[in-house]
Amino acid sequence: MQEEVFDTGAHFHGNADEVPDMTDEYAKMNRTLRSAHVEDQMLDYLLRNCKPGDKLPSEFSLAEQFHTSRSTIREVMKSLAAQGLVEIRHGSGTYVISTSASAPDPLHLSGHKDKYRLALELFDVRLMLEPEISAMAAELRSDRQAAELRRYCDETEALYLQGDDHTDKDIEFHTCIARCSGNTVVQALIPVIQSAISTFCNVTQRKLMNETIQTHRWITNAIENKDPIGARCAMTAHLAFNRDMIQKMIRARKEP
What are the boundaries of each domain within the chain?
A: 27-96, 106-254
Query: How confident is the model over 68-80, as a mean pLDDT?
Result: 87
At how many degrees (to 10) do helices 190-204 and 115-140 cross? 130
- Are the C-beta atoms of 95 and 54 separated by less than 8 Å? yes
Query: How confident is the model over 83-98, as a mean pLDDT?
Result: 82
- Are the C-beta atoms of 135 and 228 separated by less than 8 Å? yes
Task: Read off the amino acid at residue 22.
Answer: M
- Are the C-beta atoms of 103 and 83 separated by less than 8 Å? yes
Query: How confident is the model over 245-252, as a mean pLDDT?
Result: 86
Per-residue pLDDT tens digits for 196-219: 787 777 776 667 788 899 999 999
Please check the confidence at residue 30 and state whether its pLDDT lies above 60.
Answer: no
- Are the C-beta atoms of 95 and 87 separated by less than 8 Å? yes
Name the residue with higher pLDDT: 226 or 53. 226
Q: How far apart are CA 45 and CA 18, in angstroms?
A: 42
pTM: 0.59
Predicted local confidence at residue 40, as pLDDT: 78
Query: How confident is the model over 69-90, as a mean pLDDT?
Result: 83
66 CB-near residues (< 8 Å, 6+ apart): 38, 41, 42, 73
CATH of 27-96, one of 1.10.10.10, 3.40.50.720, 3.90.220.20, 3.40.50.1820: 1.10.10.10
Per-residue pLDDT tens digits for 144-194: 999 999 999 999 999 989 988 788 888 889 989 999 999 988 887 887 787
Exposure of 118 by Cβ count < 10 A (0-12 exposed, 13-18 middle, 19+ buried)?
Answer: buried
Task: Read off the amino acid at residue 214.
Answer: Q
Name the residue with higher pLDDT: 8 or 215. 215
Please check the confidence at residue 9 and state whether its pLDDT lies above 60.
Answer: no
Q: Which fold has domain 106-254?
A: Four Helix Bundle (Hemerythrin (Met), subunit A) (1.20.120)
Where do the DSSP E strands lie in the chain? 86-89, 93-96
Closest CA to 40 of 69, 71, 66, 70: 66
Exposure of 150 by Cβ count < 10 A (0-12 exposed, 13-18 middle, 19+ buried)?
Answer: middle
Give the single-character DSSP code of 222.
Answer: H
